[in-house]
């Protein structure tokens, strides 16, 4: 990598780390100090308006419904989320934010709004559009990489299960 590429890579890592650290510090000092960053992002995935199916929320977060269930259990105990069965299809479990959950959602959204305004306000329209386009490109690339590695992991798990099933047949 050349110098500009190294600076870019270092900058991306610093941005990612610093956003997470800043969110953690803001949380730990504020009214919502009993929430983790992961729990806050779960509230974001649920959203403040309509109840969401657990499966939809898990998909938005890129996690399994089993993993989400553990997080939702904690958020229900803390008073940020309500969970209930869908009235039309009892197999579907829905989650929605409580009043306290909506307040946490709004405070987190405000953090992100202030961050974006601080970065974008000094820029002219052309630079804003250029920056937004570059961020979209980075996001698309990272999303593609995530999906690629997720598919490879699924394929490995599938191969392992097939191998184990084959071994079971040999043992029997």
pLDDT for res 52: 94
Q: Would you place residue 1 in the very low, low, confident or very high pLDDT band (cuts 50, 70, 90)?
A: confident
Four-residue CA torsion sign, 99, 100, 104, 110: positive
Residue 48's pLDDT band, with cuts at 50, 70 and 90, is very high
For residues 110 and 23, give the distance between their C-alpha atoms in angstroms, rounded to a whole number.
Answer: 11
Q: How many residues does the chain have?
A: 172
pLDDT at 66 over 90: yes
Q: Do residues 65 and 36 make contact, with C-beta atoms less than 8 angstroms apart?
A: no
- 125 Cα distance to chain centroid: 29
Please tell me the chain's helix, strand, coil percentages from 3-state DSSP, rounded to the nearest 5: 75, 5, 20
For the record, the structure tokens of 136 come out as 């979209």
Question: What pLDDT score was predicted for residue 57?
Answer: 95
In this prediction, residues 105-128 reach a mean pLDDT of: 93
A 10 A CB-CB count for 82 gives 15
Contact indicator for 40, 32 with CB cutoff of 8 Å: yes
């Amino acid at each position: 990598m050349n110098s500009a590429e190294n600076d870019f890579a270092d900058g991306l890592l610093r941005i990612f780390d610093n956003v997470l650290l800043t969110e953690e510090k803001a949380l730990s000092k504020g009214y919502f100090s009993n929430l983790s960053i992961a729990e806050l992002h779960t509230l974001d995935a649920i959203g403040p308006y309509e109840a969401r199916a657990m499966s939809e929320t898990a998909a938005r977060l890129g996690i399994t419904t089993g993993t989400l269930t553990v997080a939702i259990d904690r958020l229900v105990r803390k008073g940020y989320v309500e969970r209930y069965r869908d009235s039309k299809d009892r197999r579907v479990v829905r989650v929605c934010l409580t009043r306290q959950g909506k307040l946490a959602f709004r405070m987190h959204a405000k953090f992100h709004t202030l961050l974006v305004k601080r970065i974008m306000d000094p820029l002219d329209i052309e630079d804003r559009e250029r920056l937004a386009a570059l961020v979209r490109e980075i996001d698309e690339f990272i999303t593609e990489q995530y999906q690629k590695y997720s598919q490879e992991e699924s394929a490995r798990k599938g191969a392992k299960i097939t191998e184990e099933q084959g071994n079971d047949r040999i043992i029997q």
